[in-house]
Amino acid sequence: MYDVNNPAHPTEIVGRAALANQDDVRDAIEAAHRAFPAWSAMSYAERAERLTAAAAPLAADETRLQELIHLFTREHGKILRESAIEFSRFGDRFAWPVAQAARLAEDEKLSGPPRDTIITRQPRGVASQIVPWNWPISLLGVKAPPALMTGNTVVIKLAEQSPLAPMQLLKMLADGLPPGVINVIASPPSEIGDEMISNPLVRKISFTGSINAGKHIMKVAADTLKAITLELGGNDAALVFDDAELDEEAIRRFVNGSFMTAGQICMAVKRIYVHRSRYDEFVEKFSQEVDRIVVGDGTDPSVTMGPLNNERQLKVVQSLIEDSRQSGATVKELGQVADETTYREGYFQRPVVITDCDPNSRIVQEEQFGPVVPILPFDTDDEAIQRANDTEFGLCSSVWTADRDRAVSMARRLEAGYTYINGHGPMAQDHRGPFGGMKQSGIGRVLGFEGMNEFMEPHSISAPPGWLF
């Protein structure tokens, strides 16, 4: 067992969690393997019914839900409203795959000649699912429901930084399903080694996390040719064109897309490029809205941004801020502090806006994963696209313009797996569409029907012409 601490009050122990080792991982994988034949043999309609019944207790118990939301805020740091959004997002992402039972059951039929062929799908088997600390409940909704609905069994590794509420949520689901269908552990990678990705009983790996960890997973998974989905880092560019609407509501959307969860979101705005004719206006309006952010303990209803989740990430962000100062950029720490004592003791960083920075500086080229964003000018559409694409990342991007045709045209030129128009981030997401990255931002997709296909193998069944149909 180990202590889980509150990042707003690091000396406060929120709870204790079991620390898994390699034997625990093997036991979980073997349990999932034993459960797979019966679970996969069910029809899609039967699995949909079982999953709906398993999720019902959480939706029916509002008191319990609020307890979990409060617990999650204390162990993670994010504000209560964002914790509530995570649970709501899990519910939405749970319901959508379950509603696809009829579509999943439809086979494609090809009449001969040369052959009569049925193209169907079958589940892969045991799926290892590795969830990061920043949005764990929302990302559980990305991974577990489509895997389970398509007939796989799962072994889920939660990040050790914030496992308590996610573990209890998963226990409620597991209690309503056959033993072994859902298995959960919490542990740092050093405790479990590569067991979750090297074990021969594992057929599918779904990972969300850093580029370096993703590369390691690819290498280990290659030995047994496992199917992998990797959703890795992002350095999302937002392009503000000369005709963009910059009213109060638009600026609020922009700030929310940049600083939600203290910027600790893979799809958050990480770089802002603004047409030079609107640059000063945008910087002023954006900075004014950022300055309204109230930083503090996420359980305080007046607080609009909590701490970073852990000390290590705080140091990364502060290093990037200091590097920007040293390089001559203009660094503005904005926002209000709810309580100075709490701020000094916790893993807090006021929101930062950086201007006058070199396009090749670290703050522009690296993923900061924190409450800091650089703003740079551009002169032409081509320049904006070139700068946005000049990165090893390719997760998300956004286009801000009043012209619909221009928005779509610019979006098509961006090297990203997902592009938002006049919005950015979780609140602009459509969970029915596939999500994932290009370049070093990942391989494969989650969400949408494409995300469900990641957990299935095509299966062709053919016979002589005129024999099947």
What was the pLDDT predicted at 104? 97
Long-range contacts of 101-107 (CB under 8 A, 24+ apart): 101/44, 101/45, 101/47, 101/48, 101/149, 102/44, 102/45, 103/449, 104/44, 104/149, 104/150, 104/452, 105/43, 105/44, 105/45
333 assigned to active site: no
Catalytic residue among 75, 266, 366, 367: 266
Q: Write the Ramachandran bin of 447: left for phi over 0, alpha for psi from -120 to 50, otherwise beta.
A: left
Domain boundaries, the chain: 2-232+437-462, 236-428
Equal CATH topology for 2-232+437-462 and 236-428: no
Catalytic residue among 75, 86, 231, 289: 231
Residue 468 gets the label, from left (phi > 0), alpha (psi -120 to 50) or beta, of: alpha
| Whether the predicted pLDDT of 386 surpasses 90 | yes
345 catalytic per annotation: no
Map residue 21 onto helix, strand or coil. Answer: coil
Strands 456-463 and 116-123: antiparallel
C-beta separation of 286 from 353 below 8 A: yes
pLDDT digits (tens, 9 = 90+) for 108-132: 999 999 999 999 999 999 999 999 9
Going by pLDDT thresholds of 50, 70 and 90, the confidence category of residue 189 is confident
CA distance 441 to 427: 21
How far is Cα 130 from Cα 342, in angstroms, rounded to an integer? 32
Q: Tell me the CATH number for domain 236-428.
A: 3.40.309.10
Q: If residue 184 lies in a helix (H) or strand (E), which one and from where to where?
A: strand 182-186
CB 200, CB 45: distance < 8 Å: no
2-232+437-462 CATH fold: Aldehyde Dehydrogenase; Chain A, domain 1 (3.40.605)
Q: Confidence class of residue 190 from pLDDT cuts 50, 70 and 90?
A: confident
Please write the tens of the pLDDT for every residue from 272-306. 999 999 999 999 999 999 999 999 999 999 999 99
Longest Cα–Cα distance of the chain, Å, equals 79
Task: Please state the rounded mean pLDDT for residues 52-81.
Answer: 95
Residue 185 has pLDDT above 90, yes or no: yes
Mean pLDDT value of segment 82-92: 94
Whether residue 378 contacts residue 312, with contact meaning beta carbons closer than 8 Å, is answered with: no
The percentage of residues in the chain with a pLDDT greater than 70, rounded to a whole number, is 100
What is d(CA 232, CA 429) in angstroms, rounded to the nearest whole number? Answer: 17
Q: The tokens 């569409």 sit on which residue?
A: 433
Distance CA 234, CA 395 (A): 5
Does residue 59 surpass a pLDDT of 90? no
pLDDT digit string (tens) for 202-229? 999 999 999 999 999 999 999 999 999 9
DSSP conformation class of 241: -
